[in-house]
Structures are given as structure tokens and as C-alpha cells.
Chain A
Amino acid sequence: MAVYVYSITAATHPRSLDGLVGVGEPPSALRSVCAGPLCAVVSDAPADLRPKRRDLTAHQSVQERLMAEGTVLPLRFGLTAPDDSAVQTALSERREEYTGALTALEGCAEYHLKAAVDEDALLRQILLDTPEARQLNDEITGGDASPDLPLALGEMVAQEVQARQDALATGITEALRPYARQELGSGPTGKDFLSVSFLVDREHEQLFLTAEKGLAGALGDEVEIRLYGPLPAYSFV
């Protein structure tokens, strides 16, 4: 029977998963499959797995519990192996890689940061700072019907938006970089101009959080910073 695989831990990890359930409806039972110094947390795989809230939450809850008790290698959502012995084979074959990764992540957590800027505030500032844009805007709102003007204004403003967001993104990342071991950014999503993960070790956690707090304060309420963590190190496995 196919098994859904959540995480890899050291065999010495307590893996006390009481009260948690696996993916699927009805929820599957969690168990461990071990080989040598490594164990994988698995459950029976449901026949028709989809990225539903319940299943994503189950996957995430397992990682969080394991993280609270030790070091965990979180797997990407949705991975299944044909059976328990395939899991054992994978653990044995990649034993060094996984034990190495577990050692490297010891005492570390991921923090994920997203930042968005209030668009009206940004545009207002751009118009106030850029006489050319201001003039175009005045001409358009003053009734000039030429269809070229909005396009010209829009392009000018879009470039300026881009430049300012890039500068903000760089500034935020550089302010936090000293307290992180690694970082990994991804493309902007939705309204967020910045989406970046940091790997932070316990020693630097308070400094990191203090720096982030200071940053959020300094940027004011026109820049919204959301920080999530400590999270299992999804981005650094």
C-alpha cells in the first residue's frame, strides 16, 4: 500500500505524535518507518490526495510537532512511496546526505517574511517626487484626451514603483542578513513585493526578531511586513 511521507528525523528523535493525524479523510494514522540512524514519519496514502486545507494542515502540523522536539527534514507536500520498504531503501541509500542535513539544521528554524507596500501611498509619493509624472497626471486629469498620456504616465510610474520596491526589498533583506545563516527569496506573489526565507539559528533568533521589529517600525505603516516563524526549514533542506 502506498505511503505518504511527511518528514525525516534521526532515529533518536522522540517523534511523539500523539493527538496528530495524517492526511486523508478519514484521517490516516501516523507511524514511523526506520532504517539505521534515520526514521521517516509516514501514514497510509489516501487514494485521491489534493492540496486541501485539512491535508496541508496535517502535513504542516507534523513538521511543527517534530520541530518542537528536535531537528526535522520536512518533505514537500504530496510525496508518496510505494510501500514501507521503499521508504527504508531511500533512507539507507541517502543515509549520509540526510544525516548531514539533519546535523546542519540542528538548532535552526526558518523565518519567512513577506512585505507589501500601500499602493496609493507609494503612487502619491512618486507623483510628488517626479515632476514629469506629476505633469502628465495633471494633463490627464485636466481633460487631455490623448490616449498616449495614460500609457506614458503608467510606464513612468511602473518603473518608479519597481525601483522603489526593489530598493525596499534590498534594504529589508540586508538588514536581516547579518542574523541569518542562509536566505532564499522567491518571486513576488500577489501584492507582496518581497517574499524571502531566512534560516536562523537559535543563538541569533532574538537579534533577528529585534532587527525585524525595528525594521517594521522604521518603515512605518505604509509598508506591511509579515513574518512567519519559527517554521520547519522547508527552504533549506
Chain B
Amino acid sequence: MTVVPQSQTSVSRGGGSTGSLYDILELILDRGLVIDVFIRVSLVGIEILKIDIRIVVASVDTYLRFAEACNRLDLEAGRKAPTQLTDIVGEVTEGGAHGKSKGALSGAMEAVTDTLRGGHDDEDEDREKAPAPKRERPARRPARRREE
């Protein structure tokens, strides 16, 4: 790997833009002290966020997506890859597994984004589109878990 001066790391100190709030969402919603005699308000949105944001990796969908991504890669900049064929393979698979796995991901992301960014913070509109991403199939085995 190349060594470059790091530029992407950001320590977002205090105050938080929406971007950093988004990345620490799981801390605010999922961690923090719980006092068991207190009631946690029913927050339907939270549960959905928690479930859908965990993206599953080991599945046929994922395998096909990886294969397709590999097929598309131009491995050697100099080599003339059969790009036309690659594109066709890509398009054919697009409607199938790839589309679905991507849909689940962007669905979850949109739900989170709606909650956090929402463009405008309008109460009623927000309530209308409570995050409820459609899931085309039940989640498969969460293979990448590294729970502690």
C-alpha cells in the first residue's frame, strides 16, 4: 500500500455537524447509561435503524456482488480489458442480486438520513415518512459480527 500524508482522518471536536452526529448515532441511541426504573419512550425509528444498518456480508447476493465488482475492475492500467463484455455482465446482474443488496443498504441509509438531515426539520413531514425501509428478504446470517 502507498504511504501518503493522511488527510482523511478528522477528529470532530465538540458541537458536531450533522455528519459527525450521524457517525456517533449508535452511541447516543444504543449506549449510554440506562436507569432501569425509567421508561424508554417507544422509539420505533430507533429499532429500525439498528436492524437495517447492519449489513450482511456472507450471502449469495454478496458473492455475486463481489464477483461482479471483480469482473469490472481494470486490473492493469495498461492492459486492454474486454470492457464491453464486462459492462454487459454488469448490466445483466444489475437487475438481480446487486440491485437488491444495494437497495437494502441505501434503504437503511436513507432512513438514517431522513431522521438526521431531512433537509428541513419539519415535524409533520418527518412523521409521515418514518423510517421504514422495505426489505425484500429477511436478513441472512450476520457473518461479520465482531461483538464483544
Q: Is A49 an interface residue (CB 8 A)?
A: yes
- Across the interface, do B85 and A231 meet the contact criterion of CB distance under 8 Å? no
Considering the chains assembled together, what is the distance between the CA atoms of A189 and B105 in angstroms?
A: 10
Considering the chains assembled together, what is the distance between the CA atoms of A228 and B67 in angstroms?
A: 34
Q: Chain A's nearest CB lies how many Å from the CB of B97?
A: 9
B interface residues, how many (CB within 8 angstroms):
84
- Across the interface, do B142 and A157 meet the contact criterion of CB distance under 8 Å? no
Q: Which of B4, B5, B121 contacts A53 (CB 8 A)?
A: B121
Q: Chain B's nearest CB lies how many Å from the CB of A184?
A: 6
Considering the chains assembled together, what is the distance between the CA atoms of A110 and B60 in angstroms?
A: 38
Q: Known interface pairs A190-B108, A226-B23. Does A158 touch B62 (Cβ–Cβ under 8 Å)?
A: yes
Q: Mark A94-130, 1 if CB is under 8 A from B, else 0.
A: 1000000100000000101010000110011011100
- Across the interface, do B66 and A153 meet the contact criterion of CB distance under 8 Å? yes
Q: Mark B123-148, 1 if CB is under 8 A from A, else 0.
A: 10011001000000000001111111
A interface residues, how many (CB within 8 angstroms):
94
Considering the chains assembled together, what is the distance between the CA atoms of A64 and B39 in angstroms?
A: 23
Considering the chains assembled together, what is the distance between the CA atoms of A76 and B7 in angstroms?
A: 32
Residues on the A chain within 8 Å of B43, using CB: 49-51, 77-78
- Across the interface, do A221 and B66 meet the contact criterion of CB distance under 8 Å? no
- Across the interface, do B24 and A50 meet the contact criterion of CB distance under 8 Å? no
Q: Is A54 an interface residue (CB 8 A)?
A: yes
Q: Which of A52, A75, A162, A229 contacts B34 (CB 8 A)?
A: A75
Considering the chains assembled together, what is the distance between the CA atoms of A221 and B4 in angstroms?
A: 7
- Across the interface, do A169 and B4 meet the contact criterion of CB distance under 8 Å? no
- Across the interface, do B33 and A190 meet the contact criterion of CB distance under 8 Å? no
Considering the chains assembled together, what is the distance between the CA atoms of A221 and B6 in angstroms?
A: 7
Q: Which of B31, B37, B75, B108 contacts A235 (CB 8 A)?
A: B31
Residues on the B chain within 8 Å of A223, using CB: 1
Residues on the B chain within 8 Å of A11, using CB: none
- Across the interface, do A60 and B16 meet the contact criterion of CB distance under 8 Å? yes
- Across the interface, do B63 and A127 meet the contact criterion of CB distance under 8 Å? no
- Across the interface, do B3 and A218 meet the contact criterion of CB distance under 8 Å? yes
Residues of B whose CB lies within 8 Å of any CB of A are 1-16, 18, 20-21, 23-35, 37-41, 43, 45-46, 49, 53-55, 57-58, 60, 62-71, 73, 75, 81-82, 85-86, 89, 93, 105, 108-109, 115-118, 121, 123, 126-127, 130, 142-148
Q: Which 6 A-B pairs have the closest CB atoms?
A: A154-B63, A76-B32, A150-B67, A154-B67, A216-B6, A234-B31
